[in-house]
Structure 1
Amino acid sequence: MSPRSKCDLQPVLRIDFPNEEKIGRGKMRLLEHIRETGSISAAGRAMDMSYRRAWLLVSEMNAMFAQPVVDSQRGGKQGGGAVVTDFGETLLQRFRDMEKKIETALASDLAWLDANRSVTKSR
């Protein structure tokens, strides 16, 4: 048995809104893929989801906030495309900052949990 050099437990942040809407790491990853690809379709493919599912998630995020998270343009001669708005970029950055704060705040507790896990569990 080798000593563990780093805790591999990770807290997962999900924000539940009062009206049953949610944001979490999946929607944030979708935003990152849209930023990288400029496309809702390509972002969905990168996450092994259908265009419809990706589009529904984007639509849901856009409806959750007073400002749009993603602006999209239908296909045509110039082709379609999507861009994460300035508000969407701020949302994404703030969410990632919240994740870091949680990891920092829980580091010693996670280390304790990790140290007390059964060694027979797969890693």
Structure 2
Amino acid sequence: MKLIANGRIWIETIEGPFLGYGRIELLEKIGELGSLKKAATAMKLSYRQAWDFVDQMNKRTGHPLVIMERGGKNGGGASLTPKGEAAIRLFHELNTSFQQFLVTAAARMEEWP
């Protein structure tokens, strides 16, 4: 019998989920596309759901991760703040460490009788 260590990482606050794979992808899409609507469409999310995720992240960190600009003549848009960019980097660093932990755990389980 082969045992496998498995898991996913996410970051929470006392209020609930803060960052996970989906929210990080949303932040990355906002940074890439410059628009919450385009990011939501690319991820097959409703605009409202994407808005709620961004609103929760902005409120739970105490520092906005995304700045929203209202539509109008130039169409508005969305952009990542330096804190938003840092959140993406932090999540990827933590995820890399977590994946390395899983590899180490799997190797240890191979030694198990």
Q: Work out whether the TM-score is over 0.5.
A: yes
RMSD of the TM alignment (CA)?
2.0
Percentage of matched positions with identical amino acids: 35
Check the 8 A contact 2:15/2:60 in 1, yes or no: no
Corresponding residue of 1:47: 43
Q: Distance in 1 between matches of 2:21 and 2:61?
A: 17
The structure where helix makes up a greater share of residues is 2
Q: Which amino acid aligns with 1:89?
A: E
Superimposed CA distance per residue, residues 32-88 of structure 1 (whole angstroms, 9 cap, x where no aligned partner) = 000110000000011101111111110111001121000010110011100010000
Q: Which amino acid aligns with 2:41?
A: R
Residues paired across the two proteins, number: 107
Q: Which amino acid aligns with 1:70?
A: V
* Residues 110 and 32 of structure 1: CA distance in aligned 2, closer, same or farther (over 3 Å): farther
Corresponding residue of 1:28: 24
* Residues 55 and 102 of structure 1: CA distance in aligned 2, closer, same or farther (over 3 Å): same
Corresponding residue of 2:9: 13
Mark the runs of 5 or more structure 2 residues left unpaired by the alignment. Answer: none
* Residues 29 and 10 of structure 1: CA distance in aligned 2, closer, same or farther (over 3 Å): farther
103-112 vs 11-20, which deviates more?
103-112
Q: Distance in 1 between matches of 2:30 and 2:44?
A: 14
Q: How does 1:75-86 map to 2 (within 5 A)?
A: 75-86=71-82
- TM-score normalised over the length of structure 2: 0.84
- TM-score normalised over the length of structure 1: 0.78
Q: How does 1:84-103 map to 2 (within 5 A)?
A: 84-103=80-99
37-46 vs 12-21, which deviates more?
12-21
Structure having greater relative contact order (Cα 8 Å, sep ≥ 6): 2
